[in-house]
């Protein structure tokens, strides 16, 4: 069972004090809801306890893992054997992560079961959101999932979130402005994919056509033309 709180306090992404408060809360395995570069979502520490809390809040089976947000490509090695990826796949992933795209990869065998699927894959995304990226500097990664019960309507605003969900959330972290309401596109580049060179499992903000264009560009190797220098013979 997830913990319950008397009130859900509101924090702001632009406040350094609020960011410090949120970091401490997450490390204490408390769940929050935040605005993001996609939909309104839960955010949680990548611990077994936080995983169990999230599953309880969402009424979700524990055999279905959550997306993990990371700050940068450098932190991918905490979850994936990057050396096993081809140069082409690495280039493609980096292009994808300039956009709201979640990439499914083969997880490290050493990772605990709650971080990966039954077939040994893991879902990773780099958010295009300054507040989240600043927060992620203090973590290897954070769980991310839409702020609804499994199969329910995804809320766009805080007022849309079910009351019994808010009772189990410590903070609501908000931006000034309009919240996006389209989820990330999910693609599979793992060894378990059915289609080549990648499989689209969910089409969100980025279309399949756009992904094909990005993949085509990642295959192109740019070569620099080397100018031939004229060699002058030395006079004797």
Q: 118: Cβ–Cβ under 8 A, 6 or more apart, which residues?
A: 63
Interatomic CA distance for residues 28 and 227, integer angstroms: 60
Residue range 17-38: mean pLDDT, rounded: 96
Interatomic CA distance for residues 111 and 25, integer angstroms: 24
Q: Is the pLDDT of residue 46 over 80?
A: yes
Strand ranges of the sheet holding 142-146, from the earlier edge strand across to the other edge:
9-12, 171-174, 32-34, 41-45, 142-146, 67-69, 121-125, 101-106, 185-188, 199-202
pLDDT value of position 236: 44
Tens digit of each residue's pLDDT (9 = 90 or more) over 62-120:
999 999 999 999 999 999 999 999 999 999 999 999 999 999 999 999 999 999 999 99
- For each of the domains in the chain, give its residue range(s) and CATH number, in order of start: 9-219 (3.90.870.10)
Residue given tokens 């600043």 in the structure block:
134
pLDDT value of position 212: 93
pLDDT value of position 100: 96
Residue range 201-219: mean pLDDT, rounded: 91
- Residue 223 — very low, low, confident or very high, per pLDDT cuts 50/70/90? very low
Of residues 2 and 183, more confidently modeled:
183
pTM for the model stands at: 0.90
């Amino acid at each position: 069972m997830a913990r319950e709180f008397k009130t859900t306090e509101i924090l702001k992404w632009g406040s350094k004090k609020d960011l410090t408060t949120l970091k401490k809360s997450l490390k204490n395995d408390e769940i929050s809801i935040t605005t993001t570069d996609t939909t309104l979502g839960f955010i949680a520490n990548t611990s077994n306890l936080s995983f169990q809390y999230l599953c309880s809040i969402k009424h979700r089976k524990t055999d279905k893992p959550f997306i993990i947000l990371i700050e940068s490509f450098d932190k991918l090695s905490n979850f994936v054997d990057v050396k096993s990826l081809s140069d082409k796949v690495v280039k493609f992933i980096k292009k994808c992560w300039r956009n709201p795209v979640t990439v499914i990869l083969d997880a490290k065998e050493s990772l605990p079961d709650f971080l990966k699927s039954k077939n040994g894959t893991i879902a990773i995304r780099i958010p295009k959101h300054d507040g989240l990226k600043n927060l992620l500097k203090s973590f290897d990664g954070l769980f991310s999932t839409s702020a609804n019960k499994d199969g329910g309507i995804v809320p766009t605003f805080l007022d849309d979130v079910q009351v019994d969900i808010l009772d189990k959330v410590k903070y609501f972290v908000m931006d000034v402005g309009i919240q996006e309401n389209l989820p990330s596109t999910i693609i599979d580049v793992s060894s378990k994919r059915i289609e080549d060179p990648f499989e689209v499992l969910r089409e969100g903000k980025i279309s399949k056509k756009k992904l094909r264009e990005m993949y085509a560009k990642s295959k192109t190797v740019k070569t620099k033309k080397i100018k031939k220098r004229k060699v002058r013979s030395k006079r004797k």
